[in-house]
Amino acid sequence: MFETFALQIPVIGVSTERFIVLLLAAFAGGMFGAALGALPSFIFTGFVVLLGETAGIIIRQFEGADLITAGELGTGITSSIGFGPFVGPHIAFAGGVAASAYAGKRYADMDPSEGGYHFGKDITYAFGTQPDILAVGGLFGVLGLLISRVAGGIGLPLDSVALSVMTTAFIARIAFGYPLIGSPAGSGLLDMSPFEKGETRGDGSGRPATEPWLPHQYKWVNIVVIGLGAGILGGWTWLITESFFLAYGISAASLLFLNLGVEKIPVTHHITLGGSSFAAIAAPMVGGNEPLIIVAAAVGGLIGALLGELTQRIAYSHSGTHVDPPAMSITIYSLLIGVLFLLGAIPNSAYLGLGP
């Protein structure tokens, strides 16, 4: 009976046996994210994506290579591992984020910082083998898999992985008793001046009154500069390799240095992905004119960067857990791409793969 029921659900798209395996793998992947920490698990996403995209590119360079086989190899590593149950951001990273949110309430004494951000936002913390925390990570890994699968199955025209990362983070806030958005300490949600003035919450915690996602990456002029630069690099990478995710993988892997404590490392995977996407959309519109393609990539990177900063000011800075600004940014601009493609306003949907 279970098999019949499962196979009748169109959004699953796999056999009952494979679905059960995916659920088990997603639970383990969420535990993996909790054990290592959300950010370290995402860094592995970057390395695996680099491996997958590079494998496909290299094989395609050999004369007489089976292009279908090469594409399947690269896509398989990227999608099944990099964006699958092992280190997929919607599973491992989401599990790590939820684990931190849970630990921030249940194990506040674990907090290694004094006067820093709320422990629920510490996505670098590795929870090792703490059973209940790993179980939380596992459950949110399963939830992340289901949200992504359902979103893809019903045909939402957006990045279902990014949507899942964003959604599970909000669910974790509700589940563990945090404010969904929080109350701003300044003149509004976008006001970062309380942080700049060194104001604290006044509750004895020593926490900043406003907690920008990246203290080195929140001023608008800085966002514009990194958005344009990283967007161009994303577009250039697509122009040379036709890979949407190679620059994304480089950006994600670069966060290893941020995790190791190197100051002022920028977070750019939502920016380089925007650059590669806008480059691919622009290419047929400008007749393959490379300078114009790169200009479009710069615009895509800028949009990704600005959306990341806008969403962090609204959804990250005023509550006590991590809601990922890059995931929110990618969700928004991928939806824009998807809708514009379905309306016939742009010639392709970039990496979303919509249409015939």
Indicate if the pLDDT at residue 3 is higher than 60: no
Of the pLDDT bands very low, low, confident and very high (cuts 50, 70, 90), residue 50 is very high
Computed over its alpha carbons, how large is the radius of gyration of the chain? Answer: 20
Identify the pLDDT of residue 64: 52
Q: What is the pLDDT of residue 69?
A: 52
Task: Please check the confidence at residue 289 and state whether its pLDDT lies above 70.
Answer: yes
Per residue in 213-239, pLDDT (tens digit) is: 999 999 999 999 999 999 999 999 999
Confidence of residue 205 (pLDDT cuts 50, 70, 90): confident
Nearest to 27 by CA among 146, 189, 203: 146
User: Using one digit for the tens of pLDDT, what is the confidence trace for 53-112?
Assistant: 988 887 767 655 555 555 555 557 898 899 999 999 999 999 999 999 999 999 988 877
Whole-number average pLDDT of the chain: 92
Q: What is the pLDDT of residue 17?
A: 84
pLDDT value at residue 111: 78
Distance, CA of 352 to CA of 262 (rounded, Å): 34
Q: What is the mean pLDDT of residues 123-132?
A: 96
CA distances from 257 to 22, 212, 267, 297 (A): 31, 20, 11, 25
Q: CA–CA distance from 101 to each of 96, 146, 175 (Å)?
A: 9, 20, 9
pTM confidence score: 0.93
Please report which confidence band the pLDDT of residue 1 belongs to, taking 50, 70 and 90 as the band edges: very low
In angstroms, the CA 53 to CA 75 distance is: 7
Q: Summarize the confidence of residues 167-189 as an average pLDDT.
A: 96
Predicted confidence at residue 10, as pLDDT, reads 57
CA terminus-to-terminus distance, the chain: 35
- CB hemisphere CA count around 343 (13 angstroms): 8
What's the whole-number mean pLDDT along residues 260-286?
97
How confident is residue 2, by pLDDT bands cut at 50, 70 and 90? very low
Average pLDDT (175-187) is: 95
Residues 330 and 163: their CA atoms lie apart, in Å, by 8
**What pLDDT does residue 82 have?**
94
CA distance 69 to 62: 12
Mean pLDDT of 137-166: 96
